[in-house]
Amino acid sequence: MKNKSNLLLLSTLIGGLLFSYIFWKEWLALNQLIYSAFIIAVTIFNSEVIKSTKFKVYALAHLLAAALMVVNNSALSAVTYYISLVLFVGFAHYQAVRTIYIAGMATVMQMITVPATLLKRLSDIQIGKFNLKPFLRPIKYIILPLIILFVFTAIYSGANDVFAHYLELIFTNISNFFNDIFGFIFQDLSLPRFLHFCLGILVTAGLIITFYNKSIEKIEATCSESLLRIRRSQKPKSIWYEVAHTFTSQIITKKMALKTEYIIGLISFISLNLLLLSVNLIDISTLWFGYKPAGNFSADLHDGTNALIFSIILAMAVILYFFRGNLNFYSKSKTLKILAIAWMVQNFILIISVFIRDGYYIEFYGLTHKRIGVLVFAMLCTIGLGTVYIKVAKQKTLFYLFKVNGNIWFALLLAFSLINWDVFIVKYNLAKSEQVGVDADYLLSLSDKTLPILNKNRSKLHYTPSKKLYEREIAKPQTADFYRDQLDRRIGYFKERYQEVSWLSWNLQDWKTAEYFGLNKK
């Protein structure tokens, strides 16, 4: 155990140095892949971590996300990178965990408890008869008071400007004092750089050293994926039940009989099926075939799509409520299940209407991140309905639903990160500039990787009269000079930024943009 602690602490120190070297004043790109490779390598050699199939899957998933940061370097790939890192650490160190949610909680807990974990590991260090335990024991008495002091200092400084002013003076003087000391002893080391190194140690320790208390794994231990019929009289009474029973007798706490619940569900699903059938028939007749925009086209599409997505989520919640327990085992529940499945099919038709609405929106107005997001969300709703069907048909639990959907969502997140959406949006909108009004303000707000495409299509960003479609305006461009100046400023900013960073910030998209504008990195 002591040799393991020594190895992990040495890896933490090396990780802190690596963190400070590759991230200091750099953009996130190739350096993230290097750091991830280091974390995964240390975890592989950590004998405390079991190298299971789950470990290998999430390690490869995180490496893919890190590689996508180098290839695409988009906001979505950055989100995917951090989520995959959190899940990899959670599943690697807590392999009894089954869902991505608890894996994420485990990683957060491990990061928060880094100081306690480091103290415990440092106390295990022993060289001959020498160990650090006697020196570290007093530290445990001051950690909590320091945290409390920090919290209340922040509160008081926010409440009192004079106190905040004096506090700022004190910290400025302390900072200058240590800067002078570091500058005198280490000419190339400043206090901010030292603090960055300390941050690297804490981050690395949180990612590679397992928290000694694995009680979080017990959260899922009692969760089953298949429903079991439980006699109501055998269910333990909760604190809420006892309190409610004390004040209200049986008015609130008395549960509906299974037959009563079945009849309520039957009436609900018959009514909802008839209601949704009328909505779907109207959509099929007016939206699916021969649709013509009229009135406030944009608002109608936007509000209608939002309402439909909300209704689909609510529909899944209603189904989950009625099939949450013993109603699944009721002898007459087959009819209720058929009605619920019919409602799911109708909700699937509703999702098709969402796709069609968003398709019209894209056809008339062009692509944006939000419109792509609607398509993705509708796809997730489709998958959600599919898993809800499995839950009802196979008598699965809510835990099963969360587990399966969580894994699917993460897989889709990785898949969508493969696409360079900014470039895709700009290429599509400019290619369709004759059919849709080009929103130049939006296109110029996208990332630097789109600059070569925008520069090639400067002529499509000039001023044109507002285009109309079915008597509705769909674009209100600014002047040509405005867009030309804005594009030139964006190009100039990119050139300055590109020259300021080293090879550690290299990514494929910036390299392509630099090549287009003739920038040579030396």
Q: In b/e form, how buried is each residue of 270-285, taking b as 16+ CB within 10 angstroms?
A: eebbeebeeebeebee
pLDDT at 248: 47
Lowest mean pLDDT among 179-183, 218-222, 305-309: 179-183
Beta bridge partners of 396: 226
pLDDT in tens, 423-449: 999 999 998 888 777 788 889 999 999
User: Comparing C-alpha atoms, which of 140, 139, 122, 120 is closest to residue 131?
Assistant: 122
At 150, the amino acid letter reads F
Distances (CA, A) of 223 to 150, 151, 233, 270: 39, 37, 20, 32
DSSP, collapsed to helix, strand or coil, labels residue 496 as helix
Contact 390, 396 (CB under 8 A): yes
Contact assessment for residue 451 and residue 491, using Cβ atoms and an 8 Å cutoff? yes
pTM higher than 0.85: no
Mean pLDDT of 279-289: 85
Highest mean pLDDT pick, 364-368, 466-470, 476-480: 364-368
| pLDDT tens digit sequence for 7-62 | 888 999 999 999 999 999 899 999 999 999 999 999 999 988 889 999 999 999 99
Decide if 49 contacts 43 (C-beta within 8 A): yes
**Residue 522 pLDDT > 60:** no
**Euclidean distance between CA atoms 499 and 522, whole angstroms:** 9
H-helix or E-strand spanning residue 468: strand 468-469
Distance of CA 135 to the CA centre of its chain: 41
Could you tell me the two tokens for 54? Answer: 């789950």
72-87: average pLDDT: 95
What mean pLDDT, rounded, does the chain reach? 82
DSSP notation for 384-451: HHHHHHHHHHTTB-HHHHHHHHHHHHHHHHHHHHTS-HHHHHHHHHHHTTTTS---HHHHTTS-GGGH
Query: Is pLDDT above 90 for 494?
Result: yes
Band of residue 360 on the pLDDT scale cut at 50, 70, 90: confident
Instruction: Check whether 322 has a pLDDT greater than 90.
Output: no
Which is nearest to 234 in space by CA: 332, 333, 322, 325? 325
Contact 444, 483 (CB under 8 A): yes
Query: Which of 26-45 are b and which e, b meaning 16 or more Cβ less than 10 Å from the residue's Cβ?
Result: bbbbbbbbbbbebbbebbee
Return the pLDDT at 301.
Answer: 63
- At 388, list the tokens: 């809800």
Strongest mean pLDDT among 75-84, 129-138, 343-352, 390-399: 75-84
Which of 293, 292, 346 is CA-nearest to residue 318?
Answer: 346
In this predicted structure, which of 251-255, 266-270, 459-463 has the lowest mean pLDDT? 251-255
The three-class DSSP label of residue 462 is: coil
Residue with the larger pLDDT of the pair 75 and 157: 75
The tokens describing 167, both together, are 């506090």
Residue 21: count other Cβ atoms within 10 Å of its Cβ: 15
Four-CA torsion 272, 274, 278, 283, nearest 10 degrees: 60
Amino acid at 455: N
Helix (H) or strand (E) holding 117: helix 114-123
Supply the pLDDT for residue 129.
66
Q: Which helix (H) or strand (E) holds 109?
A: helix 100-112
Distance separating alpha carbons of residues 43 and 478, to the nearest angstrom: 54
- Contacts of residue 114, defined as CB under 8 A and 6 or more positions apart, other chains included, come to 202, 205, 206, 209
What span, in angstroms and rounded, lies between the C-alpha atoms of 456 and 450?
Answer: 10
Pair of tokens at residue 96: 């009894």
